[in-house]
């Protein structure tokens, strides 16, 4: 009787057996009763079936070909009936050839006789019953020595091509393949994979790009440990076609140099090389500028094309073609002939201002080398120092603005291009003139001197050249009574070509003080005024100095005479005799007596030129100097001749007469021309100022660097007033010196001292007219030229060195020495329109 437990469970008409086992099989009976009548019974037999289960099996190890082997597939359990099935590598096996299968109820046997190389594989036994199936697989490894499938042989290949060779074998286990290459005369060296070579596990040797070094004897070996391995050798031959390593190159050659074009080709001999220029074969002859040189190397040829004295025509594309039995190759060389740039083109001035100008140009031929920069060269075209100025301009620009120019100045300009080779030729020179500006500096070295009771002589020098700012047209000389509110009266004076200028103001009031100033003007307008000077007109007229004449001469003395001047209103107070030895300093002999009419200079040097003139003095001052006479003392020991036979007087006198005639003719022509020119000057001045008299405000005056403790002028009669040179620092008091060698101090009637600066020594207008009494010899002429050069140097802004004063002998100086007089004033100029 079964009861409900963990094994069985009865539920009405169902019996459940949990985790059925083999022992659970048998006969089971179900009894049904309801207490009435006979019970009912029904029996059933339970059979318990099992899935098939195969016991593992293996093949013997290290089987060789030709041997015999068998394996059994046995069931550990499983309900019958069971069917067995054998598979090899997934394919069903049956009894045939060298395979035999025997099935006996609970097991199945597989026999292999004989074992072959292809018997290796995976063998599977499959057992199947009603419930299912089971299977088991075992591997059979049959060892076989290596055998050739594809044996390598000798190969040829071209340089740079891909090469592949196989060493294909069979065997169990799979043979290992190795590659070797003979290294010269040494043993074989084992190869491995690298960037150019790849060795695969299948026995392939692959070279991606064959080189000459890959040529040689190779071998491959195959071995799997079964019997003896395999070895095969082969030779790899590399054919090298003609080839250039570098296909293209740019060769830069300077014009005039020699060029060498190189073509180095590698390849098997023989190799032929042909040169081309712009794809046309070069004809190289003895008369051409081309030469070809070839050098044969072990692995190729070096070819050189030599070009002598390269010029622009040689700039081209050169090609060298190399050919051998295995191919050809080409190399191209681009020859650039570099040279300095050409001239910049179309240089033009766009705009011109007073101190700058803008220019433009077109870029020139670069000479096959990039332009690195431009240089604008400019200089003063006329007058002034010829200094070359340069401004560098970027290579990317073709315009420039030139700064720092001078107003009213003519300039010349050129543009130069520059590259790495050097600078080319300058462009065509262009010229332009900057706009004018008003003069930026006042006239310098202003000097005023009372020349009479109604006239004042004004002298000045132009402003410094760099202050003109154009071409000076003239000057405005302004004057007015001192200490009044009257406007300045201006007189226009045409600019002189001389270094100094002068103007005689007439129609003034006697014994009156006047303020004097001068301004320069050009087309742009009037510049700043000079320092204002004050001077007083004289109380009377200055005396006229009589001319002197030669009386006699010896080797050490000169005697001169003159006619006495008689003026009862203003009697003379004395004379002064001035003399100069050669080009030396002027010396002065004051002669106190007004009655004296001759004088002898003694202690002179023999055979020497002397210059002499006379001035007369009265209470108003010193008069105009007489004409200069030139006398030469006689040679040492020479006897005296009558004066009328002395050549030193005869020849100069004749020359003087001729000069007087020529001067008269020149003056006549000059007067005729000057009148028309003066009219033109008047018109220009009127157009500039509108009237000849101007109102002047001295609010922007420029003052000189002088001693502030001493006034410029007290304006006493007979005392000249001097304005020192602008831009120069001059001491206000200087030691006395001779007339033209330094400043002259003159005392006025009230004790004031005025100094005439040596800026004005030897002014052309201050010289008395020179009358030569004897023609100078060559030595004297050289001295005169030297003196003229010294005069030109003294007219500059810088002061010349102070000359030393000569010591006078007792015969040359009176017992009461007086300070040297001021320079002899020049004669009044002839009246002109500027003095009206």
For the stretch 627-682, pLDDT in tens is: 999 999 999 876 555 555 555 555 666 777 887 888 788 777 655 554 443 443 34
**Beta carbons of 206 and 162 less than 8 angstroms apart:** yes
pLDDT digits (tens, 9 = 90+) for 45-67: 877 778 888 899 998 887 888 88
Query: Cα Rg for the chain, rounded, in angstroms?
Result: 66
Please compute the mean of the pLDDT values over residues 182-186 and round it to a whole number.
79
Output DSSP code: residue 759.
G
pLDDT band at 34 (very low <50, low <70, confident <90, very high): confident
Distance CA 499, CA 820 (A): 26
pLDDT digits (tens, 9 = 90+) for 79-91: 888 899 999 999 9
Distance CA 541, CA 616 (A): 12
Q: Is 0.85 topped by the overall pTM?
A: no
**Beta carbons of 255 and 249 less than 8 angstroms apart:** no
Distance CA 182, CA 196 (A): 18
Please give the torsion angle defined by the CA atoms of residues 619, 625, 629 and 634, in that order, rounded to the nearest 10 degrees: 40
Q: What are phi and psi of 580, to 5 degrees?
A: -140, 135
Sign of CA dihedral 283, 285, 288, 294: positive
Q: What is the DSSP string of 422-475?
A: -B------EEEEPPP---SS--EEEEEEE-SSS-EEEEEEPPPGGG-SS---EE
Q: What is the DSSP string of 576-589?
A: EEEEEETTS-EEEE
Distance CA 117, CA 230 (A): 18
In the block, residue with structure tokens 């059933």: 44
- CB-based contacts of 289, cutoff 8 Å, min separation 6: 307, 308, 309
Q: Cα dist. 324→143, 158, 272, 300 in Å?
A: 53, 13, 7, 10
Please compute the mean of the pLDDT values over residues 515-527 and round it to a whole number.
96
Res 395: pLDDT: 94
pLDDT digits (tens, 9 = 90+) for 465-490: 889 999 999 999 999 999 899 999 99
Q: What are phi and psi of 780, to 5 degrees?
A: -65, -40
- The DSSP bridge pattern shows strands 121-128 and 83-88 to be antiparallel
- Return mean pLDDT, the chain: 79
Q: How many residues does the chain have?
A: 836
In whole angstroms, what separates CA 686 from the centre of its chain?
Answer: 52
Q: What are phi and psi of 410, to 5 degrees?
A: -90, 130
Res 411: pLDDT: 94
Q: Environment class of residue 170 by beta-carbon count within 10 Å: exposed (0-12), middle (13-18) or buried (19+)? A: middle
Please compute the mean of the pLDDT values over residues 804-822 and round it to a whole number.
36
Res 769: pLDDT: 39
Domains within the chain, CATH numbers bracketed: 8-46 (no CATH), 53-140 (2.60.40.10), 144-239 (2.60.40.10), 243-338 (2.60.40.10), 345-433 (2.60.40.10), 447-536 (2.60.40.10), 548-633 (2.60.40.10)
pLDDT band at 803 (very low <50, low <70, confident <90, very high): very low
Out of 353-367, 507-521, 683-697, pick the least confident. 683-697
376 vs 77 pLDDT, higher one? 376
Distance CA 9, CA 515 (A): 158
Res 681: pLDDT: 35
Res 826: pLDDT: 42
Res 737: pLDDT: 37
Please compute the mean of the pLDDT values over residues 246-269 and round it to a whole number.
93
Res 596: pLDDT: 87
93 vs 673 pLDDT, higher one? 93
Please compute the mean of the pLDDT values over residues 113-125 and round it to a whole number.
88
- CB-based contacts of 546, cutoff 8 Å, min separation 6: 562, 563, 564, 565, 614, 616, 626
Res 475: pLDDT: 96
């Amino acid at each position: 009787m079964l009861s409900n437990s963990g094994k069985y469970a009865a539920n009405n008409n169902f019996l459940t057996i949990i985790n059925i086992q083999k022992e659970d099989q048998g006969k089971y009976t179900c009894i049904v009763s309801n207490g009435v009548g006979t019970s009912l019974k029904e029996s059933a037999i339970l059979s318990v079936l099992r899935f098939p289960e195969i016991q593992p099996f293996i093949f013997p190890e290290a089987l060789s070909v030709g041997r015999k082997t068998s394996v059994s597939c046995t069931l550990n359990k499983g309900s019958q009936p069971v069917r067995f099935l054998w598979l090899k590598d997934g394919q069903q096996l049956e009894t045939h050839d060298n395979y035999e299968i025997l099935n006996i109820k609970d097991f199945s046997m597989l026999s292999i006789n004989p074992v072959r190389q292809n018997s290796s594989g995976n063998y599977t036994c499959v057992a199947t019953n009603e419930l299912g199936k089971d299977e088991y697989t075992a591997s059979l490894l049959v060892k076989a020595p290596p055998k050739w499938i594809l044996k390598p042989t000798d190969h040829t290949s071209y340089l740079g091509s891909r090469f592949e060779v196989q060493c294909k074998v069979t065997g169990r286990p799979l043979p290992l393949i190795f590659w070797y290459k003979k290294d010269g005369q040494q043993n074989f060296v084992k190869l491995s994979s690298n960037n150019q070579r790849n060795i695969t596990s299948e026995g392939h040797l692959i070279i991606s790009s064959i080189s000459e070094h890959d040529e040689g004897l190779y071998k491959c070996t195959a071995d799997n440990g079964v019997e003896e391995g395999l070895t095969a050798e082969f030779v790899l031959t590399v054919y090298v076609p003609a080839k250039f390593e570098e296909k293209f190159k740019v060769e830069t050659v300077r014009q005039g140099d020699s060029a060498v074009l190189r073509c180095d080709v590698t390849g098997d001999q023989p190799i032929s090389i042909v040169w081309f220029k712009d794809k046309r074969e070069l004809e190289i002859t003895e008369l051409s500028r081309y030469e070809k040189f070839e050098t044969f190397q072990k692995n190729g040829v070096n070819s050189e094309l030599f070009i002598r004295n390269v010029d622009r025509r040689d700039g081209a594309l050169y090609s060298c073609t190399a050919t051998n039995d295995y191919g050809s190759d080409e190399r191209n060389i681009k020859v650039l002939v570099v040279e300095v740039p050409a001239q910049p083109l179309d240089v033009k001035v766009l705009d011109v201002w007073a101190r700058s100008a803008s220019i433009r140009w077109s870029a020139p031929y670069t000479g096959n080398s990039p332009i690195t920069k431009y240089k604008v060269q400019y200089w003063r075209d006329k007058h002034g120092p010829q200094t070359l100025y340069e401004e560098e301009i970027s290579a990317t620009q073709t315009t420039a603005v030139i700064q720092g120019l001078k107003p009213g100045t003519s300039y010349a300009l050129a543009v130069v291009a520059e590259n790495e080779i050097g600078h080319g030729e300058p462009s065509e020179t262009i010229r332009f003139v900057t706009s004018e500006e008003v003069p930026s500096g006042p006239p310098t070295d202003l000097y005023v001197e009372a020349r009479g009771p109604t006239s004042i002589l004004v002298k000045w020098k132009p402003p410094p050249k760099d202050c003109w700012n154009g071409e000076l047209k003239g000057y405005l000389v302004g004057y007015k009574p001192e200490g009044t509110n009257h406007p300045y009266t201006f007189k226009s004076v045409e600019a002189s070509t001389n270094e100094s200028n002068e103007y005689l103001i007439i129609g003034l009031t006697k014994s009156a003080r006047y303020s004097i100033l001068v301004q320069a003007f050009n087309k742009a307008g009037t510049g700043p005024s000079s320092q204002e000077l004050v001077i007083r007109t004289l109380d009377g007229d200055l005396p006229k100095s009589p001319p002197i004449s030669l009386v006699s001469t010896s080797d050490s003395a000169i005697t001169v005479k003159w006619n006495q001047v008689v003026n009862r209103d203003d009697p003379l107070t004395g004379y002064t005799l001035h003399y100069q030895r050669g080009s030396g300093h002027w010396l002065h002999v004051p002669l106190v007596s007004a009655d004296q009419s001759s004088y002898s200079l003694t202690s002179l040097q023999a055979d020497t030129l002397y210059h002499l003139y006379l001035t007369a003095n009265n209470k108003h001052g010193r008069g105009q100097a007489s004409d200069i006479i030139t006398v030469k003392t006689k040679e040492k020991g020479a006897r005296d001749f009558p004066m009328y036979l002395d050549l030193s007087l005869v020849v100069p006198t004749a020359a003087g007469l001729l000069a007087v005639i020529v001067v008269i003719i020149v003056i006549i022509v000059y007067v005729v021309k000057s009148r028309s020119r003066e009219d033109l000057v008047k018109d220009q001045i009127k157009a500039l100022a509108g009237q000849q008299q101007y109102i002047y405000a001295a609010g922007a005056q420029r003052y000189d660097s002088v001693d502030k403790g001493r006034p410029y002028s007290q304006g006493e009669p007979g005392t000249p007033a001097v304005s020192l040179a602008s831009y120069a620092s001059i001491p206000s008091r200087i030691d006395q010196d001779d007339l033209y060698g330094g400043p002259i101090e003159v005392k006025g009637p009230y004790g004031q001292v005025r100094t005439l600066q040596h800026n004005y020594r030897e002014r052309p207008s201050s010289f008395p007219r020179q009358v030569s009494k004897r023609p100078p010899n060559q030595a004297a002429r050289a001295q005169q030229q030297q003196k003229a050069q010294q005069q030109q140097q003294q007219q500059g802004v810088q002061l010349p060195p102070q000359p030393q004063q000569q010591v006078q002998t007792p015969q040359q100086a009176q017992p009461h020495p007086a300070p040297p007089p001021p320079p002899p004033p020049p004669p009044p100029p002839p009246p002109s329109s500027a003095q009206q």
